[in-house]
Amino acid sequence: MKIEHIKLSHATKKINGTVQLTGSKSESNRALIIQALSHGIVNIENLSDAADTEIMTASLQLAQQNPKDTIKTIDIGPAGTAMRFLTSFLTLAEGKFILTGTERMQQRPIGILVEALSSLGANISYQNKEGYPPIKVEGGFQQIKSEVLVQGNISSQYISSLLLIASSLEKGLKINIQGELTSRPYVTMTLDMLKEAGVTHKWSENAIQIDAQNFKHTTIFVEPDWSAASYWYSIVALSDKGEILLPGLKEKSLQGDSAIIEIMSHFGVKSHFSKEGLHIKKTEAISDKTLFDFKECPDLAQTIVALTAALKRDISITGVETLKIKETDRLNALKIEIAKFGAELITEGDIYHVKTDKVYKPDTLTFDTYEDHRMAMAFAPLALIFNEVNINEPEVVNKSYPAFWDHLQQHGFQIEK
């Protein structure tokens, strides 16, 4: 039975223990594409159990079934990464495909990626609105050139999608990036994982070159998810006393969201690594920093905005323009939700200011999630500040962190469904 909302509270406001996070969704989805392109010689360990990763796994299995005369329809639901990565992957698969998703997915642009692939010789057409899913992809195209130009200030997933198939193209691929690159760590993650699987590259100034080459036999171990870790940083920061161990996280991580270590040091959360993993602890060492740039880690922005609004700490954020085309318009969603307890999100060009002088403490707060997993997990920790927090459509967390509510219960949160 679908759960419409849950009620959260926490009696002691004290947090202590260990949280075993699922594998990174970002790493898992890249690893699955690499494994499929390698025809199975690349193995994967610690694959994420997130719904997005399960969707990617099922979609790849369907795409690789023996081609038939009929067109295969692949519905990726709300999985944005799957939409971007499969758009490129299917151009190399055998057969014809309709790639579609939820109503929201059909509002998220795919035109820049389709244009780049089409310029290489791929046969892709729109089934409804120009520039948006659903799309028809005919696999097995003949490559007509080996260079593409892509804007750097759009979703880095477009670039990663092209990089993942580059070594499997007859002529290889050179991607020329125009302008400043947004979410650079995600592109670096893709290249590092390809390198782990035997695919080398050259990155000179604004151009990335990958020659045609074969994958090698290897096993990719997927690190736990730093995006998921960010919610525990928020929980520790909002607690009266908090200390958590997150096993398996690496000091030198491929994931850009490991930036949460530095960001949360300004909110009194100290981090240190041991052989067991990452230890985070609440301290009194809070800085007066006010401007935070999320250009390289945009998925952390919701966590920090919700946190600072609840702490009554004014900050400004930048580097978040891509949030408008995520699962929802995340900037607008944040503005609506923090207003429920008096906080404001004010736009000034590409800078957004969180203002908290009017923040108050209602007896009960109900937050909407907008079909967005990160909205649910960013606002749930506020149950440590407000007496009762309700989260609508809580099952959206299955997209990236299915065990989230169970983990909260294990650490003292009372949850009523």
Are 257 and 284 in contact by the 8 Å Cβ rule? The answer is no
Q: Provide the sign of the torsion angle of the four alpha carbons 345, 156, 47, 64, taken in this order.
A: positive
Cut 0.75: pTM above it: yes
R_g of the chain computed on alpha carbons: 22
The residue from 52, 225, 299, 372 that is catalytic is: 299
| 201-236 tens-digit pLDDT | 999 999 999 999 999 999 999 999 999 999 999 999
Confidence of residue 344 (pLDDT cuts 50, 70, 90): very high
CATH architecture of 5-23+224-416: Alpha-beta prism (3.65)
Residue 84 tokens read as 């971007």
Say yes or no: domain 25-221 is CATH 3.40.190.10.
no
Are 292 and 316 in contact by the 8 Å Cβ rule? The answer is yes
Q: What is the mean pLDDT of the chain?
A: 95
Tally: H helices and E strands in the chain: 12, 22
Count of CB atoms situated within 10 Å of the CB of 350: 11
Q: Per-domain residue ranges for the chain?
A: 5-23+224-416, 25-221
Does 327 have pLDDT greater than 80? no
| 299 in catalytic set | yes
Residue 190 tokens read as 């893709």
What's the rounded Cα separation, in Å, for the pair 38 and 42? Answer: 6
Confidence of residue 323 (pLDDT cuts 50, 70, 90): confident
Count of CB atoms situated within 10 Å of the CB of 299: 24
For residue 60, which of 23, 97, 26 has the smallest C-alpha distance? Answer: 97
